[in-house]
Chain A
Amino acid sequence: MSEAPSKTNPLLKVSNLSVHFKQGRTLFGPRPALRAVDDVSFDLAEGETLSIVGESGSGKSTLARGVLRLLKPTKGQVWLEGQELGGLSGEQLRKARRHMQLIFQDPIASLSPRRTVEQIISEPLQTHYPQLSGAERREKVADIMRAVGLLPDMRNRYPHEFSGGQAQRIGIARALVLEPRLLVADEPVSALDVSIQAQVLNLLADIKQERKVSMLFISHDLSVVHHISDRLLVLYLGQVMEIGHAKSIYERPQHPYTKVLLSAVPRMQVVGREKRRRIHLNDDLPSPSAKRAGCPFASRCPVATSQCKAEMPKLTDFEGRQVACHFPGIALEGEKAA
């Protein structure tokens, strides 16, 4: 597939990013903060797609908003093209936003109900290129509408007149019209029908190829992620469990949590292959505000030891990727040893 991304100069560099939410006080002092994102670091090369996966409540969306500075991170830095976003003034940050755009989960809700498609798509242009004439703007809007598979004739329609898939195309057009370097897609297809999902995913794949845009693709659905990602980041309770090339993680997951997550993906059973075992977890996701010393997954991990509960494993290189586990590659019950 694509060549190895150059490690020297990543487009996006996130280091030790944490987003904690204060939860007010009780009579006996402040409540523990909710650690939605905890000490997350990763790079994103130019033209690369990194998928962030995890179950609901794992902090995927918060991570995206922390990266985009829609939420103020508690700790850590984000560099976009060598520029540290936290060091920018409000006005500089506002200007820098034209390089990074967001695609939303609920396509209809992300479009203002009282504005036409043309007004919606041209708003970023108006904001960042006020010198454009009306005709130039109309032309750019028409171009981008064609590029995402919408007819420019629909420019005067309102969001309520579109289906979910079409509305998501409008959202994508709005995100692309400024030709951003970084596209953050927050569950862009999970609100759509399965048949429409494929169309929108194809569109995103085309965009990625034609426009060389870097993408952070957030999803809880590993089968969706499969087609589009170069690399994969597995998030659990706001912490990185495993990060590496998508293909190798799919084939040989090393972290117990990744194994459990992958075993939950429904797949066609191929005759002659060995039967896959679904690994079940019993408990729900623990509260992200609970105090914990060790590995966040220790409470549910089928192979956790006392060391796991006491000591947080560091993200370390293992078989060409990084895994945060004391026993990377450990075999789970009913699974052949790796």
Chain B
Amino acid sequence: MSVLRPESTESALNGAFDAVKSRSLTRLAFERFARNKVAVVSTFILLVLVIMAIFAPVAEMLTGYAMEFQDRNFYSAKPPNWDAKHFLGTDQNGRDILVRVIFGLRISMIVALVAATVALIVGVLYGAISGLVGGWVDVLMMRFLDLLISYPLTLIAVIALAYFGRNIYIVFAIIGLVEWQIMARVVRGQVLSLRNSDFIEAARATGVPTASIVLRHIIPNVIGIAVVYLTLTIPEVILVESFLGFLGLGVQEPNTSLGVLISEGATRVEHKPWLVFSPGVFLVLLLMSLNFIGDGLRDAFDPKDR
């Protein structure tokens, strides 16, 4: 065998390697996320909001006003009064706005959690199956999505509420069942491109069973994009709930959500602006922090950055 033998540079290359610490893609993504100041601040704000929502009853204890308590001295929406511990004022029925906003935040977050979880699970499964199986199954599943997406959400919500009665968990499920469609499309696209990638073919050529290919190679590469998309779905879910609440299709009194509070306050915004101001600020904080986190995650996971 007559083969050219250029001097070997391998050992030199190998040596230079030891100086750099090895970092996985996930770790690199985390480091990029940590460098993104807006995203880090948003994470902090979101954490504060989550803690407030979880410990909402603490607000009742601190102010001394229960969520449904109607303070006779503060009927018909009084402005903030620090002496009476109505820090953000009261509503039409004399209920404390701060306490109600925090409980509304809690409901909005439960909506986000439930609907987003439904969207994630249904969307990822549906998209992955559609992409992996392919062929006419894929065509059928995607056309069914087209069908679903062409029905307006409000119509579906009204019909479902008429049928199942006004139960907030039904509302959550409806929102989740509408929002999973885009997730399914995103996941399907990712699976399609993965399916034709060389490293999947390498696994098939070695005889790795299909189940292991899905577990080891497909899911780890889909989960990043699914999580990113999830953080962008949550704000949408919260907005949809607010919208349904605005139409009177959401949660029922005395429970409330940020959307309901805003819709109530919006009617009197000229004379009693604090009614809409406080829930509005909370909603904006929540949505913006989620959006910035989603953007940060997407940038952090973008493989083109490598």
Number of interface residues of A (CB under 8 A): 50
Docked complex Cα distance between A110 and B20 (Å): 24
Minimal beta-carbon separation of A224 from chain B (angstroms):
11
- Nearest first, the 4 closest Cβ-Cβ pairs linking A and B are A97-B207, A110-B198, A94-B207, A109-B198
Question: Are the C-beta atoms of A128 and B207 separated by less than 8 Å?
Answer: yes
Q: Which residues of B contact A (CB under 8 A)?
A: 1-6, 8-10, 13-14, 17-18, 20, 22-26, 197-199, 201-209, 212, 216-217, 220-221, 303, 306
Docked complex Cα distance between A171 and B199 (Å): 10
The yes or no answer to A153 lying at the interface (CB within 8 A) is yes
The verdict on A70 contacting B201 (CB below 8 Å), with A153-B18, A195-B6, A205-B1 known, is yes
Residues of B within 8 A of A228 (CB): 1, 3
**Contacts A/B (CB < 8 Å), 27 sampled:** A68-B205, A70-B201, A98-B207, A101-B205, A101-B206, A109-B198, A111-B199, A112-B203, A112-B216, A112-B221, A116-B24, A123-B206, A123-B208, A127-B212, A128-B207, A149-B10, A151-B14, A153-B17, A156-B22, A160-B306, A161-B23, A174-B202, A195-B6, A198-B5, A202-B5, A227-B1, A227-B4
The yes or no answer to A154 lying at the interface (CB within 8 A) is yes
Question: Are the C-beta atoms of B207 and A95 separated by less than 8 Å?
Answer: yes
Docked complex Cα distance between A128 and B2 (Å): 36
Question: Of the candidates B5, B13, B217, which one forms a contact with A112 in the assembled complex, judged by CB atoms under 8 Å apart?
Answer: B217
Question: Are the C-beta atoms of A163 and B13 separated by less than 8 Å?
Answer: yes
The yes or no answer to A157 lying at the interface (CB within 8 A) is yes
Question: Are the C-beta atoms of A114 and B204 separated by less than 8 Å?
Answer: no
Residues of A within 8 A of B216 (CB): 112, 115, 123
Residues of A within 8 A of B303 (CB): 113
Docked complex Cα distance between A195 and B13 (Å): 14
Residues of B within 8 A of A116 (CB): 24
The verdict on A154 contacting B17 (CB below 8 Å), with A68-B205, A109-B199 known, is yes
Residues of A within 8 A of B207 (CB): 93-98, 124, 127-128
Residues of B within 8 A of A93 (CB): 207
Which of B13, B199, B204 has the most CB atoms of chain A within a 10 A radius of its CB? B199
